[in-house]
Amino acid sequence: MRPLTQLPAWDALKRHHGAVCNLHMRDLFATDRQRFQKFSLKLDDLLLDYSKNRVTEETMGLLLDLARQSGVEERRDQMFSGAPINSTEARPVLHVALRNRSQRAFLVQGQDVMPEVRRVLAQMRSFVEDLRAGKWLGATGMPIRHIVNIGIGGSDLGPLMVTEALKPYGRDDLTSSFVSNVDGSHIHQILKKCSPETTLFIVASKTFTTLETLANAGTARSWLVQALGEPAVARHFVALSTNAQSVTAFGIDPANMFAFWDWVGGRYSLWSAIGLSIALAIGFSEFEALLAGAFEMDEHFRTAPLATNMPVIMALLGVWYSNFFDAAVHAVLPYDQYLHRFPAYLQQADMESNGKSVTLEGRPVDYATGPVLFGEPGTNGQHAFYQLIHQGTRLVPCDFIAAANSANPVGCHHELLLANFFAQPEALMMGKAADQPYKAFLGNRPSNSLLYARLDPRTLGRLIALYEHKIFVQGVIWQINSFDQWGVELGKQLAKTILPELIDDRALDHHDGSTAGLIAYFRHLRR
């Protein structure tokens, strides 16, 4: 593979950047009345307006050359064909199979995985329907009223984000909580609200070895057994995992396990059995609508030409700012309270995927890779960090996201909200002259706007898949493996070594001075 910085398009983009970096978008709009039409894409009701970016038609052409020279199309086809593109773990990357609504086969080592995918979906459907109909009863014959998902990372962030986003599709008599942090305060606060007789715990862990999840699941189990006795576990615990052996060892009946497979990455797993808490909250047909929305985006990504391919365009704009404008951050700003966990979810999706500094061939990269992603719902973010985006010294490319219709059309709240959604990108782009320098806004600050009819399961599915594929395309261009997470694995091992040192007074001299000092002081405070 030719190194990224030696591709002809890279060189051309560098030269082009020199020529266009001082152009102001205000002028680009003034001289081209068709700019919005040229730089926007529509997929049914979902509109991406990327005209407020520091690009010309030539820029887009060169970025598309970069995508072609980087082999984006070939790599995309490899992913869909089940090739082991997660090279450091020798695994295929097939979350797209989980939401495949067609009759197409997805092959892993020559074997179609679709029959197994459909079998687990059918198992999920029957469980969800029984529980929501009050047919799956707790150990004392009471219906389940509260779901507690115990998981962390991808086994938490996706289900939590979607359950929050689709709250209007939930039921008041069936509530959900998510325990992730190993800090005992997290589970403590949640158990306080639960009644053992009506609570179902979902232990969500791909590996079933994750320390945080096992600690929380153990605490939940003791709490339940203390109230209802050991036999109650079978009616109040189910597991979502690839590891049947450890699930059984934990004491969960294998009949209550919903499987998935090692070709599903943790941060791409909400479409698998890991989505059980979502399906319980919104019902199985709405969960299927979520999958169908993602499938629509998959089909678009798989078949649309690069120049009109939404995830590709968003990815290329990100590369333009990261690698040619040295932008180190990216803001995701949903003007939708129900999407309040979307930026947090995307932090894992993006930063765990593209926070890499070694190429697929093992060489250190000599260019920037994934940005720091952050965000908050509008308008709250406006009263927190937008000051820096408008007048700070750093370039912060933004994605503004909103629905035309609210799930709760209260008074004129939605119009007020959307007025801000339109005003902020305009102000960021246009800027404002003023007598006083501190009142002046330079403008020329880039953003994308995503606008759609309403936030329903289908649209949420399309949105999530849009970002998943954007992240994929960027990983291909940066020549990194977006599907491993060795940086996180390190943390898991380090904590295990230190744990015994907190419990007894063993020697600390193998640590650096700071760590040894901190642990010694901790011991002192605990005495």
180 binds ligand F6P (CB under 6 A): no
382 binds ligand F6P (CB under 6 A): no
From the list 82, 92, 154, 170, which residue makes contact with ligand F6P (rule: CB under 6 A)? 154
**Element holding 313 (H helix, E strand):** helix 310-319
Q: How far is the CB of 263 from ligand F6P (least distance, A)?
A: 14
Q: Which residue has the tokens 């493996």?
A: 481
Q: Which stretch binds ligand F6P (CB under 6 A): 31-39, 95-103, 147-155, 299-307?
A: 147-155
91 binds ligand F6P (CB under 6 A): no
Q: How far is the CB of 370 from ligand F6P (least distance, A)?
A: 15
Spatial CA neighbour of 98 closest among 330, 237, 235, 276: 276
Q: How far is the CB of 218 from ligand F6P (least distance, A)?
A: 14
- Rounded to whole angstroms, the Cα distance separating 156 from 76 reads 27
Q: How far is the CB of 208 from ligand F6P (least distance, A)?
A: 7
277 binds ligand F6P (CB under 6 A): no
Q: How far is the CB of 91 from ligand F6P (least distance, A)?
A: 13
Q: How far is the CB of 484 from ligand F6P (least distance, A)?
A: 9
Task: Enter the tokens of residue 295.
Answer: 């499938």
51 binds ligand F6P (CB under 6 A): no
Q: Which stretch binds ligand F6P (CB under 6 A): 14-22, 149-157, 392-400, 499-507?
A: 149-157
- Rounded to whole angstroms, the Cα distance separating 218 from 138 reads 19
490 binds ligand F6P (CB under 6 A): no
Q: Which stretch binds ligand F6P (CB under 6 A): 150-158, 225-233, 276-284, 435-443?
A: 150-158
155 binds ligand F6P (CB under 6 A): yes
267 binds ligand F6P (CB under 6 A): yes
Ranges assigned E (strand) in 274-345: 329-334
From the list 488, 495, 498, 499, which residue makes contact with ligand F6P (rule: CB under 6 A)? 488
Strand order in the sheet with 237-241: 175-179, 146-150, 199-204, 237-241, 257-259
Return the residue nearest ligand F6P (CB atom): 266
From the list 62, 64, 152, 480, which residue makes contact with ligand F6P (rule: CB under 6 A)? 152
C-alpha separations of 128 from 154, 286, 339, 420, 444 in Å: 21, 12, 24, 39, 50
- Rounded to whole angstroms, the Cα distance separating 188 from 377 reads 28
Nearer to ligand F6P, 180 or 459 (CB): 180
Total residues at interface with ligand F6P (CB under 6 A): 13
Catalytic residue among 383, 413, 432, 439: 383
From the list 210, 347, 406, 474, which residue makes contact with ligand F6P (rule: CB under 6 A)? 210
How far the first Cα of the chain sits from its last, in Å, is 58
Using CA atoms in the order 496, 500, 505, 511, what is the torsion angle rounded to 10 degrees?
A: -10
Spatial CA neighbour of 157 closest among 359, 344, 436: 344
For the range 406-409, what are the long-range contacts, defined as Cβ-Cβ under 8 Å and sequence gap of 24 or more? Answer: 406/454, 407/168, 407/338, 407/454, 407/455, 408/168
Classify burial at 160, counting beta carbons within 10 Å of its beta carbon; exposed 0-12, middle 13-18, buried 19 or more.
Answer: buried
Nearer to ligand F6P, 44 or 183 (CB): 183
- Rounded to whole angstroms, the Cα distance separating 268 from 280 reads 19
Q: Is 73 a catalytic residue?
A: no
Q: How far is the CB of 213 from ligand F6P (least distance, A)?
A: 5
From the list 92, 138, 153, 318, which residue makes contact with ligand F6P (rule: CB under 6 A)? 153
Applying the rule CB under 6 A, the residues between 450 and 469 that interact with ligand F6P are none
Q: Is 16 a catalytic residue?
A: no
Q: Is 469 a catalytic residue?
A: no
Task: Enter the tokens of residue 445.
Answer: 């600050």
207 binds ligand F6P (CB under 6 A): yes
Q: How far is the CB of 289 from ligand F6P (least distance, A)?
A: 24
- Rounded to whole angstroms, the Cα distance separating 352 from 156 reads 14
- The residues pairing with 143 across neighbouring beta strands, listed in sequence order, are 137
Catalytic residue among 164, 296, 352, 376: 352
266 binds ligand F6P (CB under 6 A): yes
- Rounded to whole angstroms, the Cα distance separating 105 from 127 reads 26
- The residues pairing with 41 across neighbouring beta strands, listed in sequence order, are 48
Site residues (vs ligand F6P, CB under 6 A): 152-155, 205-207, 210, 213, 266-267, 485, 488
Task: Indicate which residues carry an active-site annotation.
Answer: 352, 383, 492
